Amino acid sequence: MGAPVGSITRGTTGVNRLRRSDRWLVHHPLVRQVLHDASDPLVVDLGYGARPFTTFELAHRLRKVRHDVRVVGLEIDPARIAESEPGVSFMRGGFELAGLNPVLVRTFNVLRQYPEDAVSAAWRRMQDQLAPGGLIIEGTCDELGRRCAWILLDKTGPLTFTLAWDPFTTERPSDIAERLPKALIHRNVPGERIHDLLQSADRAWATCAPVSTFGPRARWRATLDLLAETGIPVQRYRRRMRDCVLTINWEWVAPAD
Ligand SMILES: C[S@@+](CC[C@H](N)C(=O)[O-])C[C@H]1O[C@@H](n2cnc3c(N)ncnc32)[C@H](O)[C@@H]1O
């Protein structure tokens, strides 16, 4: 194996920072199916940072989907390799995934520190390593994990885009714009689909203001209904949600070029 692919970046992380994407993952039908069907339920957490909190948390939550899941935390910084425990181990590695073939890769707050034109090569490198049917979740969030955005990919490319935020500390959907993944953050300008989506979400959210007497979650459910009625095919979730979540197929946000 050659040198890990990528560069060492800031190691900022925090306890429970990635809870919203973990919650989404454990309920996602495709993720659940891929984990259930895998002969080797191997999951990689790429770039876990200065401390491995989020890797242990991911393992804990995914064990509820499949009890024998194995999680490997990979870090490009050799000084950050943590001590392994049963079911959760740590190694040095980069976008080549240290030669592993996982069914699921989670990489959060890693590509945001790279230039925009590095994203597609990094995605390709990880996609090439996936086990059959494998998935990647690549995203970004703020320091406390209150505002998050992520992309779900398979071997062929991005499938969906998701925004998730704390109902009580975020004023409007477009407040997440500063936390968009690298593939989209520079595209939040007129003429780009992500910009149109955020504008539409803000407008629908404003229209649903009267529903806020029932709380921000009820207002967000009404907002999703309104968006769907106006022809924007956002996913609607039947289960009760703690977070405000907007998921849509990738083609609704894909960059123009
Ligand atoms: C900001 S921390 C993110 C920590 C954690 N994922 C989180 O969201 O809280 C980014 C980490 O990714 C690591 N990193 C950057 N590029 C990487 C790569 N290509 N492969 C593995 N780790 C990488 C950095 O060394 C750093 O520790």
Domain ranges of the chain: 19-164, 173-250
Q: Can you tell me the distance from the alpha carbon of 94 to that of 184, in angstroms, rounded to the nearest whole number? A: 22
Say how many C-beta atoms besides its own lie within 10 A of residue 232's C-beta.
17
221 Cβ below 6 A of ligand 1 = no
Rounded to whole angstroms, the Cα distance separating 64 from 222 reads: 31
pLDDT in tens, 176-201: 999 999 999 999 999 999 999 999 99
- Which amino acid appears at position 54 of this protein? T
CA 253 to centroid of ligand 1, rounded, Å = 25
Smallest Cα–Cα separation from 160: which of 30, 56, 16, 14? 30
The pLDDT of 232-253, averaged and rounded, is 95
d(CA 241, CA 24): 10
pLDDT at 200: 98
* pLDDT above 90 for 238: no
pLDDT at 48 over 90: yes
Place of tokens 């080797």: 40
Band of residue 215 on the pLDDT scale cut at 50, 70, 90: very high
Model confidence at 257, pLDDT cuts 50, 70, 90, reads confident
Strand residues in the chain grouped as ranges (E): 42-46, 70-75, 88-92, 104-108, 135-141, 147-154, 157-165, 244-249
* 12 ligand 1 Cβ < 6 A: yes
Q: Is 110 in the pocket of ligand 1 (CB under 6 A)?
A: yes
* CATH class name, domain 19-164: alpha beta
- Is pLDDT at 1 greater than 80 in this prediction? no
Q: pLDDT tens across 111-147, in order?
A: 999 999 999 999 999 999 999 999 999 999 999 999 9
Average pLDDT over residues 91-120: 98
Does the pLDDT of residue 70 top 90, yes or no?
Answer: yes
Give the mean pLDDT of the chain.
97
153 backbone dihedrals φ, ψ, rounded to 5° = -125, 155
Residue 44 carries which side chain, given as an amino acid letter?
A: V
Query: For a pLDDT cut of 90, what percent of the chain falls above it?
Result: 97
In the predicted model, is pLDDT for residue 2 greater than 90?
Answer: no
pLDDT, residue 52, reads: 98
**What is residue 173's predicted lDDT score, i.e. its pLDDT?**
97
CB crowding 87-114: b at 16 or more within 10 Å, else e: ebbbbebbbbbbebebbbbbbbbbbbbb
Q: Which residue of 25, 56, 109, 110 sits with most ligand 1 atoms within 8 Å of its CB, as the best mutation to test the pocket?
A: 110
- CB of residue 6 inside a 6 A radius of ligand 1: yes
